[in-house]
Structure 1
Amino acid sequence: MNTRYTRTEAAALPLLWRGDVLIAGGGSAGCAAAVAAARSGADVLLVEPAGFLGGTGAAVLDTFYGFYAPGGGRVVAGVGWELCERLLEDGQAFERPNTYGAGTGVTYEPEALKRAWDELVLGAGARVLHHARIVAVVLDGERVRGAVVDTAAGPGVVLARNTIDATGDAEVAWRAGAAVDRPAEQNRVQPLTATFRMGGVDLGATPVAELHRLMAAASGDYRLPRLDGSVHRTVLPGVVHTNLTRVSGVDATDPWQLSAAEREGRRQVAEYVRFLTERVPGYENAYLLGVSVRIGVRETRRLRGRYVLTREDVLGAREFPDAIARCGAPIEDHDGGNGTIWVYVGGGPSGRSYGVPLRCLVPERTGHLLVAGRCLSATHDAHASVRSMAQCMAAGQAAGTAAALATGDVADTDPAALRAALALHGALL
């Protein structure tokens, strides 16, 4: 199928929408971008393949990390924290220390998250198109002018002055011909995880350290690819959320590999459930409630932008004049093996953080396009820090604000003017 259309070719398809800002992907970054752009006065369309907003946050996980720096205070506010406040005030979330000292997390109820994003995005004035996938981009030379969207009614065209790629997989940037890195080709891609929930659990019966000891002791009797991980309480009594499985060596942009990974994730869930109910105190009467809607993907394509965030930038807590977000999350690398690599900003949980440059959202050449979320421009190590969902929301707010304020190519945004606008709307810089 053709993944690039000229405006003349696109004119042969039905026009579904024309406006100021097109956002591909309704996850943490895309939703924050839609809220920010619409509040800034833009006519906004958010295109999402699923029937709900929230992305990985609603389909796979139940805790936001990155709002707090380990050993310190909050480093992300703005739209993302407004979402958290709404959930906290409704009794649909609580703050919780991270098992590994990665900073306080905000654990929420995923079903409440879907509704909260509905209210924020639509309340801001953005339009949302569900069950729609961008399958091609509309180009004028190297400038993105819109996209071809596949819907239940067939393909149609959406046109915008500027576009934000918040797909996680850099789908729009890749289809437009922007330079991207493919971690799987370099044999350094983080593994995938199918999360699951269990009911009827007495979580207080087995501390996490004891759970890890039991996993190591039982590894010869069960096929447990990961011997650490997280099991934590949720908003619901007796229900725990479990992040234990590990499907390694998968290129999640390969449809066959991704399909196999979904099946392997479910197989691993069954094995971990068997281990928990047979060997772990507190799980004697536990039962599986459900597996994540889709397998969780940590890393696929990354934009090669005007700046590439590096390991040295992260660990050195570097500041940038064009910073549009802050991050204090450690490098959390699940790359192979049965453990996880943790390396902290500034060498330890000291509360230090670094800036995320606007240039990490801007393609080297492709015009009228920004990325936001985990497909931003970063090395493998830096990405293992900056991919946290709070940073995805902060980058989304920056991208949405820039796209709304731009009178021409959003790639030419003045960083100082953008930073001023973000600070006015509560962002921490």
Structure 2
Amino acid sequence: MDIWQRKPYKEIEVEVLVVGGGAAGATAAIAAAREGAATLLVERYGFLGGISTQVLDTFYGFYTPGSHPRKVVGGIPDEIVEALAQHDSMLIRPNTYGAGNGITYNPEILKVVWETLAIRAGVKILFHTLAVEVSVNRERIETVTAATKSGFLRIRPRVVVDASGDADIAALAGVPYESASHGPVQALTTTFRLLNVDLQRATQVTRKELHERMAQAIAEGAYDLPRKEGSVHISPLPGVMATNMTRVVEVDPTDIEQLSQAEIEGRRQALEYFRFLRERVPGYERACLAGLSVQIGVRESRRIWGRYRLTREDVLNGRKFEDAIAQCGAPIEEHHAGKDTRWEYLPEGETYHIPYRCLLPANCEGLIVAGRCLSADHDAHASVRSMGQCMAMGQAAGVAAAWAAQHKTTPAEIPISRLQERLRQIGAILD
């Protein structure tokens, strides 16, 4: 029997379905539930946070770069940071490349913070649940089928928030998108953490010195280091440093064979960078590998075609939009196939708006995307994908989804002034 002909173990109806429990999805679910919508969040791992707990340990995008940083993200994201602070599990530090202050945290504590806020808001969470099929009728999603340990689950939502990162739901629903088949996507990175580091000596190694040591090691042929300007930074944990060094290139993250090979290559590179640090950099002589990222970090995969497409020019010119739902001052940070990273900055203190239309697919009603799968070109995406902006987009998507579900309308028909008013009321910073 065809597996798709099997009867699902359960059918459920919800007002808002959020697919993906990363920074965007978890925030979206919290926002939707707080607005009174019956909200279901499905996540393929056994914890929330996505890249924020699987790969990284720093929120970027909360502050503008430059000598006078300005906070541009607020609301639910503030509550996340405050909860981390209550656990003595965060610190604010300058970005290695001048891209604005980062909020570095303990990812293990963050897992609990995300789910605590979600549960308190009334979100129903299903872990170990992967959305695999979508049925569409007249350009509107009718059902989403998910694979679980208990069997196939069929969900009938009024509104869906696709926060899968890879625009999985949008792609299954036939929404047009750009991906690796249309041009290069950014490199992937396996991160790792080191314990038993002599912090006093390690933190005295400047970025310039670290990169010079990398360049020398590469020139000597002693190490295979694909990226010559990777970074290592302090964490809230004593004696622990976190890295962002490896570079796996020319991978389509939506191709399972390529992604599998990327996971293997990322871990191989991580051990090589670990060897380099122990043997060539002061302070790391007695360091131990504390852990590799749960999965390889994917910066870019599918980017949908929405009702508006954010462009490179919008970013660098600090463009403002009437349907703004968030703002961003992060530079374009492109991790290309070379050994370095391309950085392009906005004017000092400047930001651009993220239009609500970038979250709305061009040809699918009842669907909102949030996070790095928004509608943007390659260069704009290299700025707007920052974690703070993903959280801000999730917050807007959750409020909009709840409003649409409760008013039995579509996300595109929501009065933008109403959405913006509500976002400001809950602490979002739109201007």
TM bucket by the smaller chain? over 0.9
> Separation in 2 of the partners of 1:303 and 1:90?
37
Q: Which residue of 2 aligns with 1:317?
A: 318
Q: Which residue pairs with 1:281 in the alignment?
A: 282
How do residues 230-249 of structure 1 correspond to structure 2 at under 5 angstroms?
230-249=231-250
Structural mapping, 1:3-402, within 5 Å: 12-71=7-66, 72-182=69-179, 184-202=180-198, 203-219=202-218, 220-346=221-347, 350-402=348-400
Deviation at 1:118, TM superposition (A): 0.8
Q: Secondary structure at the match of 2:203?
A: helix
Contact 2:232 2:243 in 1 (8 A): yes
- Deviation (angstroms), 1:351: 1.6
Report the Cα distance in structure 2 between the residues aligned to 1:269 and 1:317, rounded to whole angstroms.
37
Moved over 6 A (4+): none
1:225, 1:41 → 2: CA distance?
49
Alignment length (residue pairs): 420
Shift of 1:82: 1.4
| Counterpart amino acid of residue 425 in structure 1 | I
- State the alpha-carbon separation in 2 of the partners of residues 205 and 335 from structure 1: 29
For 1:278, what is the secondary structure of its paired residue? helix
Q: Cα deviations across residues 44-95 of structure 1 (Å, max 9, x unaligned)?
A: 0000000000001000000000000102210000111210111123211011
Amino acid paired to 2:301: T
Cα distance, 1:414 vs structure 2: 1.6
8 Å Cα contact 1:83/1:116 also seen in 2: yes
AA partner of residue 262 (structure 1): E
**CA apart distance, 1:141:** 2.2
SS at match of 1:345: coil
Native 8 Å contact 1:2 1:136 kept in 2: no
TM-score (structure 2 length as normaliser): 0.95
**Residues 146, 163 of structure 1: 8 Å contact kept:** no
- Name whichever of 83-92 and 361-370 sits farther off: 83-92
Q: 1:146 & 1:186 partners in 2: Cα distance?
A: 29
Q: 1:328–1:351: 8 Å Cα contact kept in structure 2?
A: yes
Distance 1:331 1:115 in 2: 31
After TM superposition, the score normalised by the length of structure 1 is 0.96
Shift in CA distance, 100/136, structure 1 to aligned 2, threshold 3 Å? same
Cα displacement string for residues 299-349 of structure 1 (whole angstroms, at most 9, x for unaligned residues): 000110000000000000000000000000000000110000110112xxx
Shift of 1:209: 2.0
**Separation in 1 of the partners of 2:166 and 2:183?**
17
CA 235–16 in structure 1, closer or farther in 2 if over 3 Å, else same = farther
CA distance in 1, matches of 2:246, 2:188: 8
Assess, with a 3 A threshold, how the Cα gap between structure 1 residues 2 and 76 changes in structure 2: closer, same or farther. farther
Q: Kindly, what percent of the aligned residue pairs are identical?
A: 53
**C-alpha distance in structure 1 between counterparts of 2:8 and 2:272, whole Å:** 48
Does the 8 Å contact 2:8/2:151 carry over to 1? no
Shift of 1:372: 0.1
The one-letter code matched in structure 2 to 1:402 is: A
